[in-house]
C-alpha cells in the first residue's frame, strides 16, 4: 500500500536551510493564491484558509478541469511566484 506524501506532510521544511513553500491552496505557504478568509484549517502539516475558493481548488484536484482552465492555473501560479519574488527576493 502507498500513500501520497501530501497526506502526511504537505509542506516539509528544513531547519538548516531556508525553505520556500508552495501550495495550490490559499494558506501560509510562501507562494500560494491569496484568499480573503481569516479562518484557518490544519490538515497534513499545512494551514489552509477556510474559503469556498479552496474547496473549489480541492474539487479540481480530484476532478481535473479542461486544458484551457489548467493553462489559467499555470498563469495564476506564475503570478503568485512573481509576487513572492518581488516582495522577498528583489530589493
SS3 call for 27: strand
Rounded Cα–Cα distance for residues 86 and 91 (Å) = 8
pTM: 0.73
SS3 call for 69: helix
Q: pLDDT tens digit string along 23-81?
A: 888 988 889 898 887 788 887 667 889 899 988 988 888 888 899 999 999 999 999 99
- Looking at residue 84, its pLDDT comes to 93
- pLDDT at residue 22 above 80? yes
Question: Which residues have a Cβ under 8 Å from the Cβ of 24 and sit 6 or more positions away?
Answer: 32, 33, 57, 61, 73, 77
Contact 22, 31 (CB under 8 A): yes
- Looking at residue 43, its pLDDT comes to 75
- pLDDT at residue 8 above 70? no
Contact 80, 31 (CB under 8 A): yes
- Looking at residue 1, its pLDDT comes to 59
- pLDDT at residue 91 above 70? no
Helical ranges in the chain per DSSP H: 52-62, 67-88
Amino acid at each position: 500500500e502507498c500513500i501520497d506524501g501530501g497526506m502526511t506532510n504537505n509542506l516539509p521544511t528544513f531547519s538548516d536551510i531556508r525553505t520556500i513553500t508552495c501550495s495550490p491552496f490559499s494558506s501560509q505557504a510562501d507562494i500560494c493564491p491569496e484568499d480573503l478568509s481569516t479562518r484557518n484549517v490544519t490538515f497534513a502539516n499545512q494551514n489552509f484558509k477556510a474559503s469556498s475558493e479552496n474547496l473549489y481548488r480541492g474539487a479540481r484536484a480530484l476532478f481535473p478541469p479542461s486544458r484551457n482552465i489548467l493553462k489559467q492555473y499555470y498563469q495564476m501560479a506564475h503570478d503568485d511566484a512573481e509576487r513572492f519574488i518581488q516582495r522577498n527576493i528583489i530589493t
